[in-house]
A = this chain, B = another copy of it.
Amino acid sequence: MSDIFFSDEYFMKEALKEARKAFDADEIPVGAIIVSGNKIIAKAHNLAETLNDVTAHAEMQAITAAAEYLGAKYLNECTLYVTLEPCMMCAGALNWSQIGKIVYGAHDEKRGYNKYKPQLLHPKTEIVSGIMAQECASILKDFFARKRNK
């Protein structure tokens, strides 16, 4: 592990870069990265349209990539940074992965995991929300505004 300290904002900016790639590919712009020991071990963005696959959310791909990198399916030493509150599917996957910490940007009142009871995430997972929420929400608003004006 490096001694250099990276803030949550630093890593969220990396997740936002991934969201931007989704935007440019005409995908709903959500980006995710997974960090282990201060190092980014997975980067992904939503590819549901490109891959014709509803399971290709940024978080799902990041979980698979991080597990592949680590050679282990549990991510309890890892932190996920994602620009949007995870949906029920991704929260379920994150529960199975036993991920140590989740940092998300914008809230998703309609589709976010928080509306479900009991809690979808693993009880040991630490959660931080609202990091760069405005920037994370803005890219989504711009995307849907562009869609409506097409």
Query: Which residues in B have their C-beta under 8 angstroms from that of A52?
Result: 67-68, 71-73
This chain's copy number in the assembly = 2
Query: Which residues in B have their C-beta under 8 angstroms from that of A63?
Result: 53-55
Which interface class (under 10, 10 to 19, 20 to 34, 35 or more) fits A? 20 to 34
A10 in contact (CB, < 8 A):
no
Binds B, one of A93-101, A129-137, A141-149: A93-101
How does the 8 Å CB contact mask read for A79-120 relative to B, with 1 for contact and 0 for none? 000000001111111011100000000000000000111101
- How long is the Cα–Cα vector from A89 to B63 in the complex, in angstroms? 13
- How long is the Cα–Cα vector from A113 to B52 in the complex, in angstroms? 25
A64 in contact (CB, < 8 A):
yes
Task: Give the residue name and chain of the B residue nearest to A116 (CB).
Answer: B116
A40 in contact (CB, < 8 A):
no
Query: Which residues in B have their C-beta under 8 angstroms from that of A72?
Result: 52
A87 contact from B55, B67, B71, B92, Cβ within 8 A: B92
A64 contact from B55, B67, B89, B95, Cβ within 8 A: B55
- A52-B72, A89-B92 known; 15 new pairs, CB 8 Å cut-off, are A48-B73, A52-B67, A52-B68, A53-B63, A53-B67, A54-B97, A55-B64, A88-B88, A88-B95, A88-B116, A88-B120, A89-B89, A89-B95, A89-B96, A92-B92
